[in-house]
């Protein structure tokens, strides 16, 4: 299995890019967000790769960050979601917005992805809701304990998560401060 590629960018097209490594050109499918961020052809690039193996083909999918690759792999584990839809999701929605749409159960937001219908969006929410702590990088014990405390105080999980993420991103790391600042944020609204 190919896990990453470092090489020269030979070509970039909307459907795929070609990265040459050791004299071999690899055809790599990538989200549109990556395509727009790539340097000019001839430059060196590094990509995190997911190798998708089927009977009739081996297809490479490239990502700029390992977090995107993990989201892609998680999406493939959901019934009715193949590489094409998973790539379309990552091309349309940034990872943070995707995470927020799942936690707030925003089906309409997810349906903005081409090829993603309401039933599949609902299935995504249902199946990913339980897997989100492993997807998010802020999943340390203090963060989880504070979130649990806010939910136990009667706040809806989505609102508590939003408030806690804002406080957490400001650099606060102890549970007392996180709880106090999150409560201030929640009582303002």
Dist. CA 71–CA 51, nearest whole Å: 14
Structural domains in the chain, CATH included, are: 4-63 (2.40.50.140), 66-134 (1.10.150.20), 138-188 (1.10.8)
Backbone angles phi, psi at 42, to 5 degrees: 95, -15
pLDDT for the residue numbered 140: 64
pLDDT for the residue numbered 80: 81
pLDDT for the residue numbered 138: 43
**What confidence tens digit (pLDDT) does each residue in 126-142 have?**
888 766 544 444 446 77
What does the longest C-alpha to C-alpha distance in the chain come to? Answer: 60
**What confidence tens digit (pLDDT) does each residue in 97-120 have?**
888 888 888 899 999 998 888 988
Q: pLDDT tens per residue, the chain (189 residues)? A: 788 999 999 999 888 999 999 999 999 999 988 888 889 999 999 999 999 998 899 999 999 888 888 889 888 888 888 899 999 999 998 877 888 888 888 899 999 998 888 988 898 888 887 665 444 444 467 777 888 888 888 888 878 888 888 887 766 667 888 888 889 888 875
Burial 59-73 (b: 16+ CB within 10 A, else e): ebbbbbeebbbbbbe
Q: Is pTM beyond 0.75 here? A: no
pLDDT for the residue numbered 132: 59
Q: Which residues pair with 47 in a beta bridge?
A: 5
pLDDT for the residue numbered 172: 64
Instruction: Tell me the residue length of the chain.
Output: 189
Residues 6+ apart with CB under 8 A from 189: 159
Dist. CA 7–CA 62, nearest whole Å: 13
């Amino acid at each position: 299995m190919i896990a990453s590629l470092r090489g020269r960018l030979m070509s970039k097209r909307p459907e795929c890019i070609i990265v040459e490594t050791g004299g071999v050109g690899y055809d790599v499918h990538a989200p549109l967000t990556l395509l727009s961020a790539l340097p000019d052809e001839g430059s060196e690039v590094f990509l995190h790769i997911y190798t998708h193996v089927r009977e009739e083909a081996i297809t490479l999918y490239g990502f700029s960050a390992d977090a995107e690759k993990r989201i892609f792999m998680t999406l493939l584990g959901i019934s009715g979601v193949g590489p094409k839809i998973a790539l379309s999701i990552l091309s349309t929605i940034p990872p943070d917005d995707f995470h927020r749409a799942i936690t707030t159960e925003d089906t309409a937001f997810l349906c903005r992805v081409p090829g993603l219908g309401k039933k599949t969006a609902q299935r995504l929410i249902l199946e990913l809701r339980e897997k989100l702590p492993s997807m998010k990088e802020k999943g340390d014990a203090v963060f989880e304990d504070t979130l649990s405390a806010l939910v136990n105080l009667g706040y809806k999980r989505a609102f508590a998560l939003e408030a806690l993420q804002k406080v957490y991103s400001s650099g606060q790391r102890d549970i007392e401060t996180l709880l106090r600042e999150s409560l201030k944020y929640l009582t303002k609204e």
